[in-house]
Protein backbone atom coordinates (compact mmCIF):
# COMPACT_ATOMS: atom_id res chain seq x y z
CA UNK A 1 0.00 0.00 0.00
CA UNK A 2 1.09 3.54 -0.77
CA UNK A 3 2.27 5.17 2.45
CA UNK A 4 0.54 8.56 2.62
CA UNK A 5 2.06 9.30 6.02
CA UNK A 6 5.61 9.17 4.71
CA UNK A 7 5.05 12.46 2.90
CA UNK A 8 4.25 14.56 5.95
CA UNK A 9 7.81 15.63 6.55
CA UNK A 10 8.41 16.62 2.94
CA UNK A 11 5.49 19.04 3.10
CA UNK A 12 6.56 20.40 6.45
CA UNK A 13 10.15 21.06 5.36
CA UNK A 14 9.08 22.70 2.10
CA UNK A 15 6.80 25.02 4.04
CA UNK A 16 9.24 25.99 6.76
CA UNK A 17 12.57 25.93 4.93
CA UNK A 18 11.63 27.13 1.47
CA UNK A 19 8.30 28.88 1.05
CA UNK A 20 7.85 30.90 4.21
CA UNK A 21 11.44 32.22 4.11
CA UNK A 22 10.76 33.52 0.57
CA UNK A 23 7.91 35.74 1.79
CA UNK A 24 9.74 36.80 4.92
CA UNK A 25 12.68 37.88 2.85
CA UNK A 26 11.07 39.53 -0.16
CA UNK A 27 7.52 40.69 0.48
CA UNK A 28 7.70 43.24 3.28
CA UNK A 29 7.33 46.86 2.18
CA UNK A 30 9.29 48.56 4.92
CA UNK A 31 8.70 52.00 3.43
CA UNK A 32 4.92 52.16 3.01
CA UNK A 33 3.71 49.12 4.92
CA UNK A 34 1.87 46.06 3.68
CA UNK A 35 3.26 43.44 1.35
CA UNK A 36 4.65 43.34 -2.13
CA UNK A 37 3.20 40.31 -3.88
CA UNK A 38 4.38 40.90 -7.44
CA UNK A 39 7.67 39.08 -7.09
CA UNK A 40 9.64 37.53 -9.91
CA UNK A 41 11.37 34.19 -9.87
CA UNK A 42 14.21 35.52 -7.70
CA UNK A 43 12.04 37.55 -5.36
CA UNK A 44 12.53 40.95 -7.00
CA UNK A 45 9.54 43.29 -6.93
CA UNK A 46 8.20 43.87 -10.46
CA UNK A 47 5.06 45.80 -9.46
CA UNK A 48 4.22 47.65 -6.25
CA UNK A 49 0.39 47.58 -6.22
CA UNK A 50 -1.22 46.11 -3.11
CA UNK A 51 -4.05 43.66 -3.75
CA UNK A 52 -6.35 43.29 -0.76
CA UNK A 53 -7.04 39.57 -1.30
CA UNK A 54 -3.33 38.90 -1.00
CA UNK A 55 -2.67 41.36 1.83
CA UNK A 56 -5.40 39.67 3.87
CA UNK A 57 -4.32 36.18 2.98
CA UNK A 58 -0.73 36.83 4.00
CA UNK A 59 -1.80 38.27 7.35
CA UNK A 60 -3.92 35.16 7.84
CA UNK A 61 -1.05 32.86 6.86
CA UNK A 62 1.49 34.29 9.29
CA UNK A 63 -1.09 34.52 12.08
CA UNK A 64 -2.10 30.92 11.49
CA UNK A 65 1.49 29.70 11.58
CA UNK A 66 2.06 31.62 14.78
CA UNK A 67 -1.10 30.17 16.30
CA UNK A 68 -0.65 26.57 15.15
CA UNK A 69 3.01 25.87 14.48
CA UNK A 70 5.28 27.95 16.66
CA UNK A 71 5.20 31.27 18.54
CA UNK A 72 7.85 32.87 16.33
CA UNK A 73 8.10 36.59 16.78
CA UNK A 74 9.04 37.25 13.13
CA UNK A 75 5.84 35.52 12.01
CA UNK A 76 3.72 37.61 14.31
CA UNK A 77 5.56 40.75 13.22
CA UNK A 78 4.75 40.00 9.58
CA UNK A 79 1.08 39.49 10.42
CA UNK A 80 0.95 42.75 12.38
CA UNK A 81 2.79 44.61 9.63
CA UNK A 82 0.14 43.63 7.08
CA UNK A 83 -2.80 44.10 9.42
CA UNK A 84 -1.65 47.62 10.22
CA UNK A 85 -1.67 48.54 6.52
CA UNK A 86 -5.08 46.93 5.98
CA UNK A 87 -6.55 48.68 8.97
CA UNK A 88 -5.22 52.07 7.89
CA UNK A 89 -5.96 52.00 4.19
CA UNK A 90 -8.04 48.95 3.31
CA UNK A 91 -11.66 50.11 3.69
CA UNK A 92 -14.02 52.63 2.19
CA UNK A 93 -16.37 54.69 4.34
CA UNK A 94 -18.93 51.86 4.40
CA UNK A 95 -16.39 49.40 5.74
CA UNK A 96 -16.03 47.45 2.50
CA UNK A 97 -12.50 46.50 1.58
CA UNK A 98 -11.16 47.85 -1.70
CA UNK A 99 -9.90 45.45 -4.33
CA UNK A 100 -6.51 47.13 -4.61
CA UNK A 101 -4.42 50.04 -3.40
CA UNK A 102 -1.29 51.61 -4.73
CA UNK A 103 1.98 51.15 -2.89
CA UNK A 104 1.28 54.00 -0.48
CA UNK A 105 -2.23 52.82 0.35
CA UNK A 106 -4.32 55.04 -1.93
CA UNK A 107 -7.34 53.16 -3.29
CA UNK A 108 -7.06 52.00 -6.91
CA UNK A 109 -9.94 49.61 -7.51
CA UNK A 110 -13.28 49.91 -5.74
CA UNK A 111 -14.80 47.21 -3.50
CA UNK A 112 -16.62 45.59 -6.42
CA UNK A 113 -15.37 42.23 -5.26
CA UNK A 114 -16.63 40.83 -1.98
CA UNK A 115 -13.72 38.42 -1.56
CA UNK A 116 -11.54 41.27 -0.36
CA UNK A 117 -13.87 41.35 2.64
CA UNK A 118 -13.69 37.57 3.04
CA UNK A 119 -9.92 37.44 3.17
CA UNK A 120 -9.66 40.50 5.38
CA UNK A 121 -12.14 38.97 7.85
CA UNK A 122 -10.09 35.74 7.86
CA UNK A 123 -6.95 37.78 8.47
CA UNK A 124 -8.25 39.72 11.46
CA UNK A 125 -9.93 36.60 12.83
CA UNK A 126 -6.66 34.67 12.87
CA UNK A 127 -4.67 37.63 14.14
CA UNK A 128 -7.08 38.03 17.04
CA UNK A 129 -6.20 34.50 18.13
CA UNK A 130 -2.55 35.53 18.23
CA UNK A 131 -3.06 38.97 19.76
CA UNK A 132 -6.36 39.37 21.60
CA UNK A 133 -6.77 43.01 20.73
CA UNK A 134 -10.54 43.67 20.66
CA UNK A 135 -10.07 45.95 17.62
CA UNK A 136 -9.12 42.94 15.52
CA UNK A 137 -12.18 41.00 16.64
CA UNK A 138 -14.32 44.02 15.88
CA UNK A 139 -12.96 44.39 12.32
CA UNK A 140 -13.48 40.67 11.68
CA UNK A 141 -16.99 40.80 13.07
CA UNK A 142 -18.04 43.92 11.20
CA UNK A 143 -16.55 42.66 7.97
CA UNK A 144 -18.36 39.35 8.33
CA UNK A 145 -21.61 41.25 8.87
CA UNK A 146 -20.85 43.28 5.79
CA UNK A 147 -20.36 40.10 3.73
CA UNK A 148 -23.63 38.65 4.97
CA UNK A 149 -25.38 41.92 4.16
CA UNK A 150 -23.91 41.99 0.64
CA UNK A 151 -24.15 38.27 -0.10
CA UNK A 152 -27.22 38.40 -2.33
CA UNK A 153 -25.83 41.25 -4.41
CA UNK A 154 -22.07 40.97 -3.94
CA UNK A 155 -21.10 43.24 -6.85
CA UNK A 156 -23.67 45.89 -5.98
CA UNK A 157 -23.57 48.90 -8.27
CA UNK A 158 -20.55 47.46 -10.08
CA UNK A 159 -22.59 44.64 -11.58
CA UNK A 160 -22.85 44.90 -15.36
CA UNK A 161 -25.69 42.40 -15.58
CA UNK A 162 -29.02 43.84 -16.73
CA UNK A 163 -31.49 43.09 -13.95
CA UNK A 164 -34.03 40.39 -14.60
CA UNK A 165 -32.91 38.74 -17.82
CA UNK A 166 -30.67 36.03 -16.43
CA UNK A 167 -30.27 36.16 -12.69
CA UNK A 168 -27.42 33.88 -11.70
CA UNK A 169 -25.64 33.22 -8.47
CA UNK A 170 -22.03 32.19 -8.14
CA UNK A 171 -20.52 29.28 -6.24
CA UNK A 172 -17.49 31.07 -4.82
CA UNK A 173 -19.26 32.95 -2.03
CA UNK A 174 -21.15 30.08 -0.34
CA UNK A 175 -18.04 27.98 -0.78
CA UNK A 176 -15.84 30.50 1.00
CA UNK A 177 -18.44 31.09 3.69
CA UNK A 178 -18.18 27.40 4.63
CA UNK A 179 -14.55 28.00 5.43
CA UNK A 180 -14.92 31.51 6.83
CA UNK A 181 -17.62 30.62 9.34
CA UNK A 182 -15.28 28.04 10.91
CA UNK A 183 -12.34 30.46 10.74
CA UNK A 184 -14.34 33.03 12.72
CA UNK A 185 -16.12 30.73 15.19
CA UNK A 186 -14.04 32.06 18.11
CA UNK A 187 -15.36 35.54 17.31
CA UNK A 188 -18.89 34.89 16.06
CA UNK A 189 -19.66 32.26 18.67
CA UNK A 190 -20.85 28.71 18.15
CA UNK A 191 -24.53 29.58 18.11
CA UNK A 192 -24.12 31.98 15.23
CA UNK A 193 -22.03 29.46 13.31
CA UNK A 194 -24.55 26.71 14.02
CA UNK A 195 -27.28 28.87 12.59
CA UNK A 196 -25.16 29.80 9.63
CA UNK A 197 -23.88 26.39 8.55
CA UNK A 198 -27.04 24.69 7.23
CA UNK A 199 -27.66 27.44 4.69
CA UNK A 200 -24.20 27.46 3.11
CA UNK A 201 -23.98 23.68 3.27
CA UNK A 202 -27.24 23.43 1.37
CA UNK A 203 -25.99 25.88 -1.26
CA UNK A 204 -22.76 24.00 -1.87
CA UNK A 205 -24.00 20.42 -1.66
CA UNK A 206 -27.49 20.76 -3.15
CA UNK A 207 -27.98 23.99 -5.08
CA UNK A 208 -24.73 24.09 -7.06
CA UNK A 209 -24.54 20.30 -7.25
CA UNK A 210 -25.52 19.11 -10.72
CA UNK A 211 -27.46 15.90 -10.21
CA UNK A 212 -27.07 14.59 -13.74
CA UNK A 213 -23.27 14.63 -13.79
CA UNK A 214 -22.47 14.60 -10.07
CA UNK A 215 -20.31 17.69 -10.58
CA UNK A 216 -20.50 21.18 -9.10
CA UNK A 217 -21.44 24.15 -11.25
CA UNK A 218 -19.89 27.60 -10.95
CA UNK A 219 -23.14 29.49 -11.65
CA UNK A 220 -26.83 28.58 -11.43
CA UNK A 221 -30.13 30.45 -11.67
CA UNK A 222 -31.37 31.95 -8.41
CA UNK A 223 -33.74 28.98 -8.02
CA UNK A 224 -30.81 26.59 -8.42
CA UNK A 225 -31.67 25.41 -11.91
CA UNK A 226 -29.20 24.98 -14.75
CA UNK A 227 -28.55 27.91 -17.10
CA UNK A 228 -27.45 26.86 -20.58
CA UNK A 229 -25.11 29.82 -21.02
CA UNK A 230 -21.35 30.36 -20.90
CA UNK A 231 -21.61 31.08 -17.17
CA UNK A 232 -24.08 28.29 -16.46
CA UNK A 233 -22.06 25.62 -18.27
CA UNK A 234 -18.83 26.58 -16.55
CA UNK A 235 -16.89 24.10 -14.42
CA UNK A 236 -13.88 25.03 -12.33
CA UNK A 237 -12.57 21.71 -11.03
CA UNK A 238 -10.09 23.29 -8.63
CA UNK A 239 -12.80 25.37 -7.06
CA UNK A 240 -15.11 22.41 -6.56
CA UNK A 241 -12.34 20.27 -5.09
CA UNK A 242 -11.22 23.04 -2.73
CA UNK A 243 -14.83 23.43 -1.59
CA UNK A 244 -14.97 19.71 -0.82
CA UNK A 245 -12.23 19.97 1.76
CA UNK A 246 -14.02 22.92 3.32
CA UNK A 247 -17.03 20.62 3.53
CA UNK A 248 -14.91 17.87 5.10
CA UNK A 249 -13.85 20.36 7.78
CA UNK A 250 -17.50 21.16 8.34
CA UNK A 251 -18.27 17.42 8.48
CA UNK A 252 -15.69 17.10 11.25
CA UNK A 253 -17.20 20.06 13.07
CA UNK A 254 -20.67 18.50 12.69
CA UNK A 255 -19.41 15.00 13.42
CA UNK A 256 -21.00 13.79 10.20
CA UNK A 257 -18.90 11.08 8.45
CA UNK A 258 -21.55 10.58 5.75
CA UNK A 259 -21.10 14.21 4.71
CA UNK A 260 -17.34 13.74 4.52
CA UNK A 261 -17.84 10.64 2.41
CA UNK A 262 -20.18 12.49 0.06
CA UNK A 263 -17.74 15.38 -0.31
CA UNK A 264 -14.91 12.98 -1.00
CA UNK A 265 -16.91 11.22 -3.70
CA UNK A 266 -17.68 14.52 -5.43
CA UNK A 267 -14.02 15.54 -5.22
CA UNK A 268 -12.83 12.26 -6.75
CA UNK A 269 -15.42 12.50 -9.52
CA UNK A 270 -14.37 16.08 -10.25
CA UNK A 271 -10.71 15.17 -10.31
CA UNK A 272 -11.35 12.27 -12.67
CA UNK A 273 -13.32 14.62 -14.92
CA UNK A 274 -10.88 17.53 -14.75
CA UNK A 275 -7.65 15.58 -15.17
CA UNK A 276 -5.88 16.14 -18.48
CA UNK A 277 -5.44 12.61 -19.80
CA UNK A 278 -3.01 13.75 -22.45
CA UNK A 279 -0.55 15.98 -20.60
CA UNK A 280 -1.38 15.44 -16.94
CA UNK A 281 -2.50 18.10 -14.49
CA UNK A 282 -5.96 19.48 -13.81
CA UNK A 283 -7.65 21.82 -16.29
CA UNK A 284 -8.50 25.32 -15.05
CA UNK A 285 -11.93 25.59 -16.72
CA UNK A 286 -14.24 23.23 -18.59
CA UNK A 287 -17.70 23.47 -20.13
CA UNK A 288 -20.13 20.87 -18.82
CA UNK A 289 -21.50 20.33 -22.32
CA UNK A 290 -18.06 20.22 -23.88
CA UNK A 291 -18.55 23.57 -25.65
CA UNK A 292 -15.64 25.98 -25.97
CA UNK A 293 -15.18 28.06 -22.82
CA UNK A 294 -14.99 31.85 -22.80
CA UNK A 295 -11.82 31.55 -20.77
CA UNK A 296 -8.79 31.40 -23.07
CA UNK A 297 -6.75 30.08 -20.14
CA UNK A 298 -8.98 27.02 -19.77
CA UNK A 299 -6.26 24.45 -20.44
CA UNK A 300 -3.61 25.96 -18.19
CA UNK A 301 -2.39 24.28 -15.03
CA UNK A 302 -2.56 26.53 -11.97
CA UNK A 303 -0.72 26.06 -8.70
CA UNK A 304 -3.72 26.56 -6.41
CA UNK A 305 -5.82 23.96 -8.20
CA UNK A 306 -3.18 21.32 -7.59
CA UNK A 307 -2.41 22.29 -4.01
CA UNK A 308 -6.08 22.35 -3.04
CA UNK A 309 -6.48 18.94 -4.64
CA UNK A 310 -3.63 17.52 -2.58
CA UNK A 311 -5.23 18.91 0.57
CA UNK A 312 -8.59 17.45 -0.38
CA UNK A 313 -7.13 14.03 -1.21
CA UNK A 314 -5.23 13.94 2.06
CA UNK A 315 -8.26 14.99 4.10
CA UNK A 316 -10.54 12.60 2.27
CA UNK A 317 -8.09 9.78 2.92
CA UNK A 318 -7.79 10.68 6.56
CA UNK A 319 -11.56 10.82 6.97
CA UNK A 320 -12.62 7.84 4.86
CA UNK A 321 -9.57 5.64 4.29
CA UNK A 322 -10.60 5.42 0.63
CA UNK A 323 -7.73 3.86 -1.32
CA UNK A 324 -8.65 5.88 -4.42
CA UNK A 325 -7.46 8.92 -2.51
CA UNK A 326 -4.05 7.37 -1.94
CA UNK A 327 -3.75 6.44 -5.62
CA UNK A 328 -4.74 9.90 -6.81
CA UNK A 329 -2.60 11.58 -4.17
CA UNK A 330 0.47 9.89 -5.58
CA UNK A 331 -0.34 11.02 -9.13
CA UNK A 332 -1.17 14.62 -8.22
CA UNK A 333 1.77 14.84 -5.80
CA UNK A 334 4.20 13.81 -8.52
CA UNK A 335 2.76 16.18 -11.10
CA UNK A 336 2.70 19.07 -8.65
CA UNK A 337 6.20 18.70 -7.25
CA UNK A 338 7.71 18.03 -10.67
CA UNK A 339 6.11 21.01 -12.37
CA UNK A 340 5.26 23.74 -9.88
CA UNK A 341 8.20 23.60 -7.49
CA UNK A 342 11.12 25.72 -8.68
CA UNK A 343 14.14 23.47 -8.25
CA UNK A 344 16.61 26.35 -8.24
CA UNK A 345 15.01 29.18 -6.29
CA UNK A 346 12.58 29.42 -3.41
CA UNK A 347 8.77 29.29 -3.75
CA UNK A 348 6.80 27.69 -6.56
CA UNK A 349 5.69 28.65 -10.03
CA UNK A 350 2.01 29.49 -10.38
CA UNK A 351 1.12 29.25 -14.03
CA UNK A 352 1.96 26.44 -16.42
CA UNK A 353 0.76 25.88 -19.95
CA UNK A 354 -1.14 22.75 -20.84
CA UNK A 355 2.05 20.78 -21.36
CA UNK A 356 3.31 21.71 -17.90
CA UNK A 357 5.92 24.25 -19.02
CA UNK A 358 6.20 27.49 -17.07
CA UNK A 359 3.95 30.16 -18.62
CA UNK A 360 4.79 33.07 -16.29
CA UNK A 361 7.89 32.74 -14.18
CA UNK A 362 6.62 34.82 -11.30
CA UNK A 363 6.42 33.66 -7.69
CA UNK A 364 3.70 36.13 -6.86
CA UNK A 365 1.44 38.52 -8.74
CA UNK A 366 -2.02 39.97 -8.70
CA UNK A 367 -3.60 36.67 -7.64
CA UNK A 368 -0.75 34.50 -6.34
CA UNK A 369 0.58 35.45 -2.95
CA UNK A 370 1.58 33.89 0.33
CA UNK A 371 -1.43 31.63 0.55
CA UNK A 372 -2.23 28.52 -1.51
CA UNK A 373 1.29 27.06 -1.56
CA UNK A 374 1.99 27.49 2.16
CA UNK A 375 -1.59 26.72 3.25
CA UNK A 376 -1.59 23.61 1.08
CA UNK A 377 1.77 22.43 2.41
CA UNK A 378 0.62 23.08 5.97
CA UNK A 379 -2.71 21.31 5.51
CA UNK A 380 -1.19 18.23 3.88
CA UNK A 381 1.54 18.04 6.50
CA UNK A 382 -0.87 18.26 9.41
CA UNK A 383 -3.47 15.97 7.85
CA UNK A 384 -0.99 13.22 7.02
CA UNK A 385 0.26 13.26 10.59
CA UNK A 386 -3.18 12.39 11.93
CA UNK A 387 -4.28 8.80 12.27
CA UNK A 388 -6.53 7.63 9.46
CA UNK A 389 -10.04 7.83 10.83
CA UNK A 390 -11.24 4.63 9.19
CA UNK A 391 -8.88 2.46 7.19
CA UNK A 392 -10.54 0.22 4.65
CA UNK A 393 -9.83 -2.79 6.87
CA UNK A 394 -11.41 -1.12 9.86
CA UNK A 395 -14.43 -0.15 7.85
CA UNK A 396 -14.79 -3.69 6.54
CA UNK A 397 -14.47 -5.13 10.01
CA UNK A 398 -17.20 -2.90 11.43
Choose among 8, 7, 34, 37: nearest CA to 347: 37
Site for its own copies in 196-235 (CB under 8 A): 229-230
**Residue 149, strand partner residues:** none
Contact between 112 and 45 (Cβ < 8 Å): no
Among 8, 16, 69, 109, binds its own copies (CB under 8 A): 109
| Overall size of the chain counted in residues | 398
Mask of contacts with its own copies, 246-285, x by CB under 8 A? ----------------------------------------
For 301-360, give the DSSP string: EEHHHHHHHHHHHHHHHHHH--HHHHHHHHHHHHHHHHHTB-SSSSSB--EE-TTS-EEE
Number of residues that bind its own copies (CB under 8 A): 42
Residue 38 vs 307, nearer CB to its own copies: 38
Is 158 near its own copies (CB under 8 A)?
yes
Smallest gap from residue 107 Cβ to its own copies (A): 4
Is 85 near its own copies (CB under 8 A)?
no
Among 88, 106, 149, 210, binds its own copies (CB under 8 A): 106
Is 148 near its own copies (CB under 8 A)?
no
Residue 197 vs 358, nearer CB to its own copies: 358
Please give the Cα distance from 204 to 306 (Å, whole number): 21
Query: Other C-beta atoms within 10 Å of 117: how many?
Result: 26
Is 161 near its own copies (CB under 8 A)?
yes
For 234-288, give the DSSP string: EE-HHHHHHHHHHHHHHHHHHT-HHHHHHHHHHHHHHHHHHB-TTT-SB-S-EET
Mask of contacts with its own copies, 2-41, x by CB under 8 A? ------------------------------------x-x-
Is 354 near its own copies (CB under 8 A)?
yes
Smallest gap from residue 275 Cβ to its own copies (A): 19
Please give the Cα distance from 288 to 116 (Å, whole number): 29
Residues that bind its own copies (CB under 8 A): 38, 40, 46-47, 49, 98-99, 102, 106-110, 112, 157-158, 160-162, 165-166, 229-230, 289, 291-294, 296-300, 351, 353-354, 359-362, 365-366
Amino acid sequence: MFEMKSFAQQYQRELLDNVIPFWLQHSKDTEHGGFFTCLDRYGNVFDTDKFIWLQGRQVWMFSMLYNNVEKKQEWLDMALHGADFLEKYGRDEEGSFYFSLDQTGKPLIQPYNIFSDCFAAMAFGALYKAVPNPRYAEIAKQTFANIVRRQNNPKGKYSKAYPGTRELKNFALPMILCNLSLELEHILGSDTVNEFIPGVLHEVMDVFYHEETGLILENVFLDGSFSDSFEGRLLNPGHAIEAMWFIMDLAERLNDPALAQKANDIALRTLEYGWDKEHGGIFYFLDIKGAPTQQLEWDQKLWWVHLETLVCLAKGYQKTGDERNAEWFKIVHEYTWNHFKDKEYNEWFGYLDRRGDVLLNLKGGKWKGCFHVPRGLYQVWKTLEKPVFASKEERLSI
